[in-house]
Amino acid sequence: MPHSLQETPDLADLLLDELEVPAETAEGLDLVAEVERLLGLPRGKAEFLVTESERLYVERMRERFSDIRVAERLKRTNPFLLRIRGARTVEDWATLQVQSALYSSEEEATGHLLEAIAKICFPGGREPTYTDDFDLETPGGGPDDIDGYQIKMSWDCMPMSSRKNLSNTIRQLERVYSDQGKTFTGYFAPCYGKATTTSPAGQAYVSMASREFWQRVGGGDDGFDVKVGEVCALLCSEFRAEVLETLVPQLVKSLVRAATPLIGDRDGNLDYSRLFRRINK
């Protein structure tokens, strides 16, 4: 019988233990009414947001965890980390790979959902006139002021090249709007956290604290980020439980069947020589 990571519980059980599902899930609730109440949205916008959550979170996650894509998953496997983590069977590989994919996939899907919430809720928010590098445009403090927001999941996801690109775009837009008699201000808006500096030398944009950003999105509500978190739980937690209970175990089994002829032996053990040659071609 092949060795497996006996000290590690079943992946679905492990992740379900870590998942804090609200005592009352979305089942039986009028989701639109709850979103309307929490975010202070009109009915039509609340309905649109519920629909968008299905597209941006549920459908993305279902696609990611229904498609085997064994060649792509092997390509993204770090064989050195796999050794360190003590993986000895193809099932160990599949479990660790899916676990890693789960967190990165839901981070991406949640980022898209939070961007949609900000764009729907921000008073006066609209699609940017000039879309390069910006996700949202709003009226500024004066009648001729325009603010542009680049929305990112966290405060630390701006590589140096992106910072330079954003600053260059802002300088161009400042000239464009100046010719129209208007003033443009560009903001980097993280959904959580805060950068250590807001406007270092050479930077053309203002780095916002996430709390201030959500306060603006909520029309001055200082606790709006907390309400957005509650809405995310209502819209996504129930489906995430489905991913963990059903889709993840099914995907692990499918990956084991597909990958064993490629990286395993007849007993289901990992053949590291084959695995390394498969990845490091």
Highest mean pLDDT range out of 47-56, 106-115, 254-263?
254-263
Higher pLDDT: 10 or 31? It is: 31
- The reported pLDDT for the residue numbered 273 is 95
* pLDDT surpasses 50 at 3: no
Domain boundaries, the chain: 11-122+227-279, 136-217
Does residue 276 contact residue 79 with C-beta atoms inside 8 Å? yes
Does residue 236 contact residue 53 with C-beta atoms inside 8 Å? yes
* Distance from C-alpha of 212 to C-alpha of 268, rounded to nearest angstrom: 53
Does residue 228 contact residue 39 with C-beta atoms inside 8 Å? yes
Start-to-end CA span in the chain (Å): 31
Q: Given 1.10.3720, 2.60.40, 3.30.70, 1.10.3250, which CATH number is that of 11-122+227-279?
A: 1.10.3250
* pLDDT surpasses 50 at 266: yes
Percent of the chain with pLDDT over 70: 86
pLDDT in tens, 154-199: 877 665 557 788 899 999 999 999 999 999 999 999 999 987 766 6
- The reported pLDDT for the residue numbered 68 is 86
pLDDT in tens, 99-111: 888 888 888 889 9
Mean pLDDT computed over every residue of the chain = 86
The single residue listed with the structure tokens 């009352």 is 24
What string of DSSP letters covers 174-200? Answer: HHHHHHTT-EEEEEEEEEE---S-SS-
Token readout for 19 is 């998942």
Q: Specify the amino acid at residue 40.
A: G
Single out the residue of 262, 265, 191 nearest to residue 232, CA to CA: 191
Token readout for 72 is 């792509």
pLDDT in tens, 193-232: 987 766 666 788 899 999 999 999 999 999 999 999 999 9
* Distance from C-alpha of 203 to C-alpha of 160, rounded to nearest angstrom: 11
Residues in CB range of 261: below 8 A, 6 or more apart: none
Higher pLDDT: 2 or 46? It is: 46
- Give pTM, 2 decimals: 0.79
- The reported pLDDT for the residue numbered 269 is 97
- The reported pLDDT for the residue numbered 123 is 95
Q: Collapsing DSSP states into helix, strand and coil, what is residue 264?
A: strand
Q: What is the largest CA-CA distance in the chain?
A: 76
* pLDDT surpasses 90 at 42: yes
